Amino acid sequence: MTTAASSPHPKAAVFDVDGTLVDTNYLHAVAWWEAFHQAGHRVAMTDIHHTVGMPSGRLMDRLLGEDRDRERDEAISAAHKAVYATWFERLSPLEGAAALLRALADRDWRIVLATSAQGPELQALRRALDADDAIRASLSADDVEAGKPDPDPVLQALELADVPPHRALFVGDTVWDVEAARRAGLDCVALLSGGIGRAELEGAGAVAVYRDPAALLADLDGSPFARLE
């Protein structure tokens, strides 16, 4: 495989993970539903699904309101993590995910993961993805002050890649991914694999939308990636 360091004009491909590379968004929705149920909150599954990808505090702001009893936040978040952890050994990469990362790395793209996952959760995602040979770096919610849609995760990913925004693309599956990328000065290629519709992703500013990683890989030469090479 050609190493990223060999490229005279380095490029970065920043990837979200949940719903983009690993098929987890609906698992997160169920885990949050159960956590809210245990705490006595009735929250519609569709509303939860549309907040997946946000940091837990912002997610609860949106779903439970900013005037809630915040002393219960830690317990709710811990319940979500506990339920989600029961699936760690069964997480599945989306079709073509690892092959896409390796294909981009072979084309001298510096691959950085930018995810809201933390600690053991990120480790489980990387085990499921099984593409560490193609990944230059990763950052989690533990590494940033504010999560998506704040641009901080994307900007820090660019620092890890040592690549400016105009030489980078972000790949994600939620409106929050698209917004974070745009606020960081990057175009976002969006995937439908997280369950968010094409119209919402395009309305947020995605420059291209594909069904899943396999579809993006199949069209790599016609995609926004080819236009930066």
pLDDT above 70: residue 1? no
Residue 10 phi, psi (nearest 5)? -60, 145
Final residue before a domain boundary, out of 53, 86, 119: 86
Q: Are residues 32 and 102 in the same domain?
A: no
Q: Are 48 and 34 in contact (CB under 8 A)?
A: no
Q: Identify the pLDDT of residue 2.
A: 37
Within a 13 Å sphere around the CA of 166, how many CA atoms are in the beta-carbon half? 1
90-131 per-position pLDDT tens digit? 999 999 999 999 999 999 999 999 988 888 999 999 999 999
pLDDT above 60: residue 6? no
Q: Are residues 97 and 173 in the same domain?
A: yes
Longest dimension (CA), the chain: 56
CA dist., res. 49 & res. 41, Å (int):
16
Final residue before a domain boundary, out of 70, 86, 102: 86
For position 103, which CATH number holds? 3.40.50.1000
For position 63, which CATH number holds? 1.10.150
CA dist., res. 27 & res. 210, Å (int):
21
Q: Identify the pLDDT of residue 8.
A: 64
- For 182, left (φ over 0), alpha (ψ -120 to 50), or beta? alpha
For residue 41, the 8-state DSSP code is: -
Q: Identify the pLDDT of residue 219.
A: 98
Q: Identify the pLDDT of residue 101.
A: 98
pLDDT above 90: residue 4? no
Start-to-end CA span in the chain (Å): 17
pLDDT above 70: residue 7? no
Give DSSP secondary structure letters for 119-153. Answer: HHHHHHHHHHH--GGG--EEE-GGG-SS-TTSSHH
Q: How many domains does the chain have?
A: 2
Q: Are residues 97 and 163 in the same domain?
A: yes
Let me know if 41 is exposed, middle or buried by CB neighbors in 10 A (0-12, 13-18, 19+). middle
CA distances to 55, 125, 127, 154, 171 from 112, rounded to whole Å, are: 19, 14, 16, 9, 10
Final residue before a domain boundary, out of 44, 71, 86: 86
**pLDDT exceeding 70 applies to what percent of the chain?**
96
Domain that holds residue 188: 4-24+91-227
Angle at 121 (CA atoms; ends 49, 124), nearest 5 degrees: 110
Q: Are residues 192 and 132 in the same domain?
A: yes
Q: Are residues 144 and 47 in the same domain?
A: no
pLDDT (average), residues 18-29: 97
53-68 per-position pLDDT tens digit? 888 999 999 999 988 9
Q: What integer best gives the mean pLDDT of the chain?
A: 93
Residue 212 phi, psi (nearest 5)? -165, 180
Q: Are residues 105 and 138 in the same domain?
A: yes
Q: Are residues 19 and 29 in the same domain?
A: no
